Chain A
Amino acid sequence: MLELIKPGFFFDFMKVKWYALAFSIIISLIAIASIVISGFSYGIDFAGGTVVQVKFMQPVKADEVRAALKSIGLANERIQNVGQPQDNEFLLRTAQSEDSMRGMTVKIKGALENSFGRENVQIQRVEMVGGAVSNDIKNKGFLSLFYASILILIYIWLRFDFKYSIGAIVATLHDVIVVLGIFSLLGREMDLTVVASFLTLIGYSLNDTVVVFDRIRENVKKQTSSNFDMAYIMSSSISQTLSRTILTSFTVFIVALILFLFGGEVIHNFALVMLIGTIIGCYSSIFVASPIVLFLSKEKLKA
């Protein structure tokens, strides 16, 4: 039998809770600081603007593309190589949209064709989002995060005691803040797909927490006297479920990694959220969710 964690393994997780807590607070603060100071780079879904993915049939330099766009009055736009260098594929981004420039996608195509020849330009993808629609998308994205959080909260509240709910919520919040912070630090673009991956993360990061909590409750029920060591029960519950916590995160981590590596440009950021999220979610279910329940239990005992 292949075993990641040998049966009978015990580690006193609750003993290191202060270190874990300090670590979590530090990375959360870094994340919040980055979000507050540098914010997010919003994709066109939220900020409005235009993205054009274009493939050239000949080697082309980014500066040449920039010059071509300048001829129609688009300056300082972001031009980024995508795929392999020999693909000659670029992603052009501009904050302009049909709001400020009528017929702009047609004009961009025309400018590129004029500079590089009609047969050498292949427009792969055009996405243009005007101000009115980007506001709608922003509202919808925000509302969906809000409603999903509320519904999941209600569900947890119904299923667990109050102190467990608090633990699960804080852990999930911790995951979302940290991953958001990493997104902000890396300057990754936020768009609707990324919001979708955050929603999935909220749903998924609870999985490990639920596994640990179920075991804690089970072990608490087994206690015959009311005078037991909650910290010990927690540590042993986490130890008992450690292999499944790691294994379940591992399988999702693997598929997220594959998506990140092979899924292509469009779902790159989506995969990244899940990739980081599974690790953080695994960590927080052990080191954030359970200690909080422990703190709340102690409070109760004193009172």
Chain B
Amino acid sequence: MNKFKLTGIGVLAVVLVGIFLALPTLVKLLTPYSLPEGWIGPKNEVRLGLDLQGGMHLIMRVETEKALASSLERTAADLKNQMIAQRIRYAKVESLPDGVRVMLRDSADENKLTDLVNADYPTLAEPSTVTQEGALILDFKVKPAEAKKLKESAVSQALETIRNRIDQLGVSEPSIITEGTDRINIQLPGVTEPERAKKLIGETAVLEFKLVDEEHSQTDAMKGDIPPGSYMAYMKEGHEPMLLKQETLMTGAMLDDARVHIGSNNQPYVAINFNREGGRIFERVTGDNVGKRLAILLDGKIYSAPVIKDRIGGGKAIIEGRFKMEEARDLAIVLRAGSLPAPVTVLEERTVGPSLGKDSINKGLMAAGIGGLIVIIFMILYYRASGLLANLALIANLIMIFGIMAIFNAVLTLPGIAGIVLTIGMAVDANILIFERMREEIRLGRAPKMVVEAGYKNALSTVVDANLTTLIAGAVLFQFGTGPVRGFAVTLCVGILTTLFSVLLMCRWIMEWIVNTKDVKQFSI
């Protein structure tokens, strides 16, 4: 077997493999059918981008500084208790955005305090001290490495919680990944209720139990006379104010399960089960406060504030709140999935409805079809049989684009389809350059064999140059682009590679084979 035959077999094999790999995608895109039952070939398909299949893309920011702040608040509260236990007298202990500040009553306690902090609070650095009006103030900054670790863990915890919630939403193939230091990139293909999904993802969902302050007058409090240790909170429905004790008796962190039930009046409510520790605490809290009202808050809003009739054992409680069914279901989901370590904000949202996605596919395919048809007709009219060959290469080219994209599970987007349409226009350019060169060789009176050889040889560097410059632009775009634009870069780059193959190897081989084996007198070009 000679080199020529080997090349031919190689080219044929590549094209066949390309067609084989592209089949699942082409069936999916162009026909209403799916692959037959017993299909033994590859099942990899080109994935459709969110802009084509509909869905939601979100970039959320985890407010990590708030996670740090609330962690420092807990540290400050804990430190306060420890100082009381060790009889270190303080004027004030408060948390700062990046540390804890202690104002001592007696500056002689300074060493005692630093010893305590060094021993029990390894996240805090050595303090800086100032004296203000005779009082000694110590600022313990949180160590930068510790702050970073805490922020990172807030992001990964948020990611985990969001993943849990989305799992319960029933989205097929969601993608949830971190991006940069504090961002979470969420892709939800085919999500039908984007608002609901967004609410479910964005809710911090901190469940708290607090006592209603019934010892003080609520009317006085509304006038601004709020007693120390209490604060005003508002009902979820109706926004009625209510005076609550600041102390949180319990949180949702000790929750085992949350389910929706339908009450006697056909009103849904959420039944929660505490874990063993939570059950014990809940029993003690309710036992200690029989006859008082216990407010149940989610993200600071009061859902209900029932009167505790009796000690509640067994670790069960219910949350009522004039829910709609869907609302109750979503509340149960966020309670089961757990709360976010810090609030999240939406930085970017792109949602495409399924009908627009379908419409985009149709428009894109139509543009590809019409564009392809015009180019094909033009090539036949202008270059006759050679044009036909160029068209064959073009079709093989397009099929191979899908084949290559399928093995890499690449994403096809609307700009990606535009890239394929552009490829149609650019792919035949290579053949035009070669065919024009061949016409020159014919005019010089060369024999068909020589025409083919000289045509390809002389046009080669031009064809490669022209395609490489576009490939460079495509590669850079792939590196920097996001979402749909990246899809464009993919089809553009893959298209250039398949173009070079189909024109410089496939088309050339067929032409050489024709002039070598057939007795060609006149070139149809």
Interface of A toward B, CB cutoff 8 Å = 1-2, 7, 53, 98, 102, 105-106, 109, 122-130, 132-133, 137, 140-141, 143-144, 147-148, 151-152, 155-156, 159, 192-193, 195-196, 199-200, 202-204, 206-207, 210-211, 214, 240-241, 243-244, 247-248, 251-256, 258-259, 261-264, 266-267, 270-271, 274
CB neighbours of A240 from chain B (8 A): 440
Chain A min CB distance to B62 (Å) = 13
Chain B residues lying within 8 Å of A261, measured Cβ to Cβ, are 367
Of B98-106, B369-377, B507-515, the one contacting chain A is B369-377
Contact B477 A252 (CB under 8 A): no
CB pair A264–B474 under 8 Å, yes or no, is no
How many whole Å from A246's CB to the nearest CB in chain B?
10
The majority secondary structure among interface residues of chain A is helix
Residues of chain B lying within 8 A (CB to CB) of residue A271? 418
Say if the beta carbon of B355 comes within 8 Å of chain A: yes
Taking a contact as CB atoms under 8 Å apart, the answer to whether A196 and B356 are in contact is no
Whether the Cβ atoms of B465 and A258 lie closer than 8 Å is: no
Stretch touching chain A among B13-21, B135-143, B483-491 = B483-491
Could you tell me the distance in whole angstroms from the C-beta of B468 to the nearest C-beta in chain A? 7
Instruction: Please determine whether B375 and A243 come into contact, CB atoms closer than 8 angstroms.
Output: no
Q: Is B184 an interface residue (CB 8 A)?
A: no
A25 to B349 CA separation, bound complex (whole angstroms): 43
- List 8 contacting pairs A-B, 8 Å CB cutoff, sorted by A: A98-B345, A126-B194, A200-B477, A247-B432, A255-B371, A264-B360, A266-B360, A267-B414
How many whole Å from B344's CB to the nearest CB in chain A?
11
B352→A210 contact, CB < 8 A:
no
Residues of B within 8 A of A259 (CB): 367, 371, 418, 421-422
Q: Nearest A residue to B422 by beta-carbon distance?
A: A255
Instruction: Classify the secondary structure of B's interface with A.
Output: helix
| Selected interface stretch from B150-158, B221-229, B298-306, B423-431 | B423-431
Min distance, Cβ B248 to any Cβ of chain A, angstroms: 25
User: Of residues A126, A127, A156, A159, which shows the largest number of chain B Cβ atoms within 10 Å of its Cβ?
Assistant: A126
**Docked pose: A190 CA to B323 CA in angstroms:** 45
The answer to whether B350 touches A2 (Cβ under 8 A) is no
Whether the pair A258, B374 counts as a contact (CB closer than 8 A) is yes
A262, B366: Cβ atoms closer than 8 Å: yes
| Contact A251-B425, Cβ < 8 Å, known A109-B195, A263-B364 | yes
For residue B293, CB closer than 8 A to chain A, the reply is: no
| B436 within 8 A of partner (CB) | yes
Give the complex CA separation of A192 and B346 in angstroms. 20
With both beta carbons as reference points, the residue of chain A lying nearest to B483 in the complex is identified as: A192
For B333, the chain A residues whose CB sits under 8 A away are: none
Residue of B nearest to A134 (CB): B348
Q: Which residues of A contact B383 (CB under 8 A)?
A: 2
Complex: chain B residue closest to A251, CB-CB? B425
Q: Are B347 and A196 in contact (CB under 8 A)?
A: no
A200 to B199, CA, bound (A): 39
Whether B429 and A251, one on each chain, are in contact in the complex, defined by CB atoms closer than 8 angstroms, is yes
Closest residue of chain A to B196 (Cβ to Cβ) is A106
Shortest Cβ gap from B160 to chain A (Å): 23
B130 contacts partner chain A, Cβ-Cβ < 8 Å: no
Which A-B residue pairs are the 6 nearest by beta carbons? A203-B473, A203-B470, A255-B425, A144-B480, A252-B425, A207-B466
Pick the residue among B349, B432, B476 that contacts A105 (CB under 8 A). Answer: B349
Question: Would you call B253 an interface residue if the criterion is a C-beta within 8 Å of the partner chain's C-beta atoms?
Answer: no
In the assembly, what is the distance between CA of A204 and CA of B467, in Å? 8
* A7-B443, A251-B429 given; A144·B415 CB < 8 A: no
Interface residues on chain B, number (Cβ under 8 Å): 71
With a cutoff of 8 Å between Cβ atoms, the chain B residues found around residue A247 in the complex are 382, 432, 436
A203, B356: Cα distance in complex, Å: 31
- B462 CB contact (under 8 Å) in A130, A143, A147, A214: A214
* Smallest Cβ-Cβ distance to A7: which chain B residue: B443
Question: Is the Cβ of A122 less than 8 Å from the Cβ of B355?
Answer: yes
A141 touches B480 (CB 8 A): yes
Q: Is B415 touching A270 in the complex (CB atoms < 8 A)?
A: yes
Contact partners of B472 in chain A: CB under 8 A = 148, 151-152, 155, 203
**Pair A264/B465 contact, Cβ less than 8 Å:** no
> For residue B468, which residues in chain A have a CB less than 8 angstroms away from its CB?
155
Closest B residue to A4 using CB positions: B382
The answer to whether residues A200 and B474 also contact, given A1-B439, A210-B469 and a CB cut-off of 8 A, is yes
Nearest A-chain residue to B418, judged by Cβ: A267
The verdict on A204 contacting B477 (CB below 8 Å), with A122-B353, A122-B355, A266-B51 known, is no
- B366, A144: Cβ atoms under 8 Å? no
- Given A155-B468, A207-B469; 14 other pairs, CB 8 A cutoff: A122-B355, A123-B353, A130-B345, A133-B347, A147-B479, A192-B482, A193-B485, A203-B469, A204-B473, A254-B375, A254-B425, A258-B374, A261-B367, A270-B415
Q: Are A200 and B414 in contact (CB under 8 A)?
A: no
> Which one of B364, B466, B485 lies within 8 Å of A211 (CB-CB)?
B466
- A183 to chain B minimum Cβ distance, whole angstroms, is 17
Contact indicator B375/A251 (Cβ below 8 Å): yes
Report B-chain residues with C-beta under 8 Å of the C-beta of A196.
415, 477, 481, 485, 488-489
Identify the B interface with A (CB < 8 A): 51, 59, 61, 194-195, 198-199, 345-353, 355-356, 359-360, 363-364, 366-367, 370-371, 374-375, 378, 381-383, 414-415, 418, 421-422, 424-426, 428-429, 432-433, 436, 439-440, 443, 461-462, 465-466, 468-474, 476-477, 479-482, 484-485, 488-489, 492, 525
A195 to B477, CA, bound (A): 9
B476 to chain A, nearest CB (A): 4
B484 and A193 contact, CB distance less than 8 A: yes
Q: Which residue of the partner chain B has the closest CB to A260?
A: B367
Give CA–CA (A152, B468) in the complex, Å: 9
CB of B470 within 8 A of CB of A200, answer yes
- By a CB distance below 8 angstroms, the chain A residues around B351 are 105, 123, 125-127
In the assembled complex, which residues on chain B have CB atoms less than 8 Å from the CB atom of A129?
347-348
A255 touches B375 (CB 8 A): yes
CA distance A247 to B352 in the complex (A): 38
Question: Within the assembled complex, what's the spacing in Å between the Cα atoms of A28 and B373?
Answer: 36
Answer whether A270 and B470 are a contact pair too, CB < 8 Å, given A159-B465, A248-B429: no
Closest to A264 in B: B363
Are B481's CB and A192's CB within 8 A? yes
B378: A residues at CB distance < 8 A: 251, 254
> B352's contact among A125, A192, A258, A270, by CB below 8 Å, is which?
A125
State the CA gap A147–B480 with chains docked (Å).
10
How far is the CB of B350 from the nearest CB of chain A, in Å?
Answer: 5
Q: Which of A125, A193, A251 contacts B356 (CB 8 A)?
A: A125
Cα distance A263–B462 in the bound complex, in angstroms = 31
**Is the CB–CB distance between A2 and B382 below 8 Å?**
yes
Once the chains are docked, how many angstroms separate the CA of A206 from the CA of B348?
A: 36
**Are the C-beta atoms of B360 and A98 separated by less than 8 Å?**
no
Q: How far is the CA of A130 from the CA of B347 in the complex (A)?
A: 5
B352 and A147: CB pair below 8 A? no
User: Which residues of B have CB within 8 Å of A210?
Assistant: 462, 465-466, 469
Specify which of A109, A128, A254, A270 is in contact with B418 (CB 8 Å cutoff): A270
Shortest beta-carbon distance from B260 to chain A in Å: 23
Cβ contact within 8 Å between B414 and A264: yes
On whether A258 and B371 interact (CB within 8 A), knowing A203-B473, A266-B51, the answer reads: yes
CA A155 – CA B464 in complex, angstroms?
12
| Closest-CB distance, B368 to chain A (whole angstroms) | 8
The smallest C-beta distance from A211 to any residue of chain B, in angstroms, reads 6
Q: Which residue in B381, B429, B440 is a CB contact (below 8 Å) of A252?
A: B429
**Also in contact, A130 and B436, with CB within 8 A (given A144-B477, A254-B425, A256-B425):** no
Q: Which of A122, A148, A244, A253 contacts B473, CB < 8 Å?
A: A148
